[in-house]
Each structure stands twice: as structure tokens, then as C-alpha cells.
Amino acid sequence: MRVLVACEYSGVVRDAFIARGHDAMSCDLLPTDVPGPHYQGDVTDILEDGWDLMIAHPPCTYLSNSGVSWLHRDLSRWDKLKDGASFFKRLLDAPIPLKAIENPIMHKYAKELIGNIKQTQVIHPWMFGHPESKATCLWLTGLMPLRETHNVYHEMMQLSKAKRQRLHWLPPGPDRWKERSRTFTGIAEAMAIQWG
Ligand SMILES: C[S@@+](CC[C@H](N)C(=O)[O-])C[C@H]1O[C@@H](n2cnc3c(N)ncnc32)[C@H](O)[C@@H]1O
């Protein structure tokens, strides 16, 4: 299949599909962290290039429920929320038969702007072999919900809260956002096996 992995600098999902014989390319405004087929630029330039499947990880800074209180403290965020929601909707509406758009739990203002289109499922890294908790929503078109591959919930619950929410407690730094947003390999492999 021709697979577009939109908004991916890490190459994690792209390389999981390539390893299974697919013609996959990542796209991000940033360069790819790992060498491989990559379009550095705006994904809206290439949405109509005849893809079979798109997996997209659009920015969540202004859409996610965990940041909703900032909207009331910094009024400049409302315009950024509108831009973020319109970009998300553009990906949802892309003319590609199979699609998965990924984002954390959204707040009600973002949901209203994207047209109250409910996510298809909510997954966590612990369903795919990583002892960490991070609710991740998937909006799916033409795809079956992702099935868990290696449930380590009980192992995770033996860990301290700080360890199982490691990403939440990462120290500040220029690469903190990258570390927090990189797709888990177990989830990428499940996508490539089940959707490829
Ligand atoms: C939340 S991060 C997703 C990271 C991804 N999970 C990974 O493993 O690489 C969102 C990414 O979207 C990219 N992005 C934002 N606007 C974009 C656009 N118009 N076209 C392509 N990428 C874009 C950002 O540069 C950022 O790397």
C-alpha cells in the first residue's frame, strides 16, 4: 500500500510499514530524525497524491483537554485553537480511503469546531507492551479499531505513578515535546500489522 504518515518527524510509524513491505513516507515541517522517505513541508501539499492509507498525528497543543484551562488564561490561544481544529478537520476530510487521525482527549471547544465527530476508540501504550498510561484517541475511516497486542496493565500497576506517567513528569528542555509526542513502537507495529 501507499502509506502517508502525516506529521511524523520520528519515522517510527513509517519504518514499521516499510519493514512490512509497504511504500510508506513520513511528512513533517521538520526533517526526519531517522533517514528514510520523508517529505519536509506542509502535508496539505500532498494529501491528494493518491495514497491508500494515511496515519496522521496533528499537533494537539491547543486541542487537548489537558491544556483547556490555558484558553481562559491566555486569550491569544483561541485563534490558535481555530487554526488547529481547521487543520485537524482538513486531515479528517482528506480524499484518502483509509485514515487514522491520532490525538489526545480533546476539550469541548475543539470537538465543536471539528463538528463533534467522536473518536472511534481510545488506546493506551500499556495495551501494546509499554508500561505507560497515556490516553490516545483514534478517529478511523475505513479501518477496524486497533486490537491490543500485549497487555501489560498489571505489570504497569506495580510501578510508581511517576514511572507509569513518565512522559507527564519529564523535566523541561528543548526536546521535551519531542520525547512526549514520539509514537510508541508497539502501537506503530500494531498499526502496520493490522492495517497493512
Ligand atoms: C504531536 S507531533 C507528532 C509527532 C509524531 N507522533 C512522531 O512520532 O514524529 C506533531 C507534528 O506535526 C508537525 N506539523 C505541524 N503542522 C504540520 C503541517 N502543516 N504539515 C506537516 N507537519 C506538520 C509538527 O512539526 C510536529 O512534528
Task: Give the distance (Å) from ligand 1 centre to CA of residue 108.
Answer: 22
Q: Looking at ligand 1, which residue's alpha carbon is closest to its atom 1?
A: 59
pLDDT of 169: 79
How far is CA 163 from its chain centroid?
Answer: 22
d(CA 128, CA 149): 5
Which DSSP string do the residues of 149-187 spell out, in sequence order?
SB--HHHHHTS-HHHHTGGGGPPP-TTHHHHHHSPPHHH
Residue 2, SS3? strand
pLDDT of 88: 98
Contact 180, 166 (CB under 8 A): no
Residue 96 CB neighbour total at 10 angstroms? 22
d(CA 117, CA 88): 11
pLDDT of 18: 98
Residue 25 one-letter amino acid? M
Task: Give the distance (Å) from ligand 1 centre to CA of residue 130.
Answer: 22
With 0.85 as the threshold, say if the pTM is over it. yes
pLDDT of 177: 85
Pairing of strands 23-28, 2-6: parallel
Q: Looking at ligand 1, which residue's alpha carbon is closest to its atom 21?
A: 28
Query: Computed over its alpha carbons, how large is the radius of gyration of the chain?
Result: 16
Residues with CB under 6 A from ligand 1: 7-10, 12, 27-30, 42-43, 57, 59-60, 181-183
- State the residue for C-alpha cell 475543539: 110
pLDDT of 126: 97
SS3 content of the chain, % helix, strand, coil (to 5): 35, 20, 45
Residue-by-residue pLDDT tens, the chain, 196 positions: 999 999 999 999 999 999 999 999 999 999 999 999 999 999 999 999 999 999 999 999 999 998 899 998 999 999 999 999 999 999 999 999 999 999 999 999 999 999 999 999 999 999 999 999 999 999 999 999 999 999 999 999 999 888 888 877 787 887 888 888 999 999 999 999 999 9
Residue 115, SS3? coil
Q: Looking at ligand 1, which residue's alpha carbon is closest to its atom 8?
A: 182
